[in-house]
Amino acid sequence: MTTTSTISQPPAPSLPAATAARRPTPRKIRVYTFDDWMSLTGSLLSSFVLVDIVYEHLLDGSGTLGFLVVWYLAFLMLYAAVVGLSNSRPFVVDRLVTTALWAAAGVVIFALMSTVLYTVLKGRHAYVHSNLFTQTAAGVAPSAPLSQGGALHAIVGTFVEVGLAIGVSVPLGIGTAVYMSEVGGSFARVVRTVVEAMTALPEILAGLFVYAFLIVHGFPKSGMAASIAMAVTMIPIIARAAEVALRVVPGGLREASLALGASKFRTVRKVVLPSARAGLATATILGVARGVGETAVVLICSGASTFMEVNPVKNPMNSLPLYIFTAVKTGDPSQAIRAFGAASILLVLVLALFVATRLLSRDKAVQR
């Protein structure tokens, strides 16, 4: 009797599994490998050397801006050629677009940081003296040393004028945005058109408007008049940005609130506005950033002063932008240094306002 032995064989893989095993793994575009960094660095250095030889020596070019532009264009072409040697066209396009976006962000950051650093460094000789924060410019000559006089009256005036403008513009701006976004109708389109047109309103026109309708008819030149003119320029910016923030709120939240029996007013107050808190804070910051730097409206509606004034409806009231303008206009080197010192204070105030607004607008869940 013959016995036949059989050897067990592993089962053959199914067709889909075998196809998946042979399929190449797609490369992640957003991940930068060592080769990617070397390609980027090599393209930067190679394009720099190439442009330096061709632009500076062969073509006899000159100018830093022209060199940077030619260097950037040469870098893009060289980088596209290097990346395209071993990658597909969509990968090359993604790398070029990413590089262009990073370059644009770098230019913006460089411009901002260079402006801030230049202002702070130029004003360092002024704000190291405590009298800049504790004294006014009353009775101080423009050529006086930096240890005399200060900008306290301008700092207080800025707080008073901007505070009054915020108290007027924020409720009106957000209320206008709620009307355009939540109420709607034919008149809402007219309001939106007016708001969009007033967004680009020059500040000097707002100052002339307040001057013609208030000051000419007996209202005194004061911080209140300047605040009203600031509010005229701040309201359309706050209203436009707040409307965008309100439109981002999902419509399902409104429908759920109305389905539970809440009124339209209660839905807006309890659901829509809290959901758009961060966007409304951003709209407020944009409006305040427009108003805090106003110079023409303060000059027209209030006028420059060298003394302390806290009553917004009585006498002319100075502000930091107007103090900077008048100090630079004198042409005295000491006054120019004081102007840069006041500009540094203004930068700090705007930064503090921005941080405080963002902290107050955070969600309660994030704060926990």
Confidence band, pLDDT 50/70/90 cuts, at residue 173: very high
CB 144 within 8 A of CB 327: no
Dihedral over alpha carbons 291, 292, 297, 301 (to 10 degrees): 110
Residue in the block written with tokens 């190679």: 46
Confidence band, pLDDT 50/70/90 cuts, at residue 204: confident
Query: In this predicted structure, which of 20-24, 36-40, 52-56, 263-267 has the lowest mean pLDDT?
Result: 20-24
Average confidence score pLDDT of the chain: 82
Tens of pLDDT, residues 120-168: 898 888 888 888 888 888 888 877 888 888 888 889 989 999 999 999 9
Res 2: pLDDT = 47
Res 24: pLDDT = 55
Give the residue from 278, 277, 282, 275 showing the smallest Cα distance to 251. Answer: 275
Residue in the block written with tokens 């109305």: 258
Res 237: pLDDT = 92
What domains lie within the chain, and their CATH numbers? 30-122 (no CATH), 133-362 (1.10.3720.10)
Exposure string (b/e) for 252-273, b if CB count within 10 Å is 16 or more? eebeebeeeebeeeebbeebbb
Confidence band, pLDDT 50/70/90 cuts, at residue 89: confident
pTM reported for the whole predicted model = 0.74
Confidence band, pLDDT 50/70/90 cuts, at residue 86: confident
Give the residue from 148, 138, 147 showing the smallest Cα distance to 316. Answer: 138
Tens of pLDDT, residues 229-246: 999 999 999 999 999 999
Residue in the block written with tokens 């399929």: 23
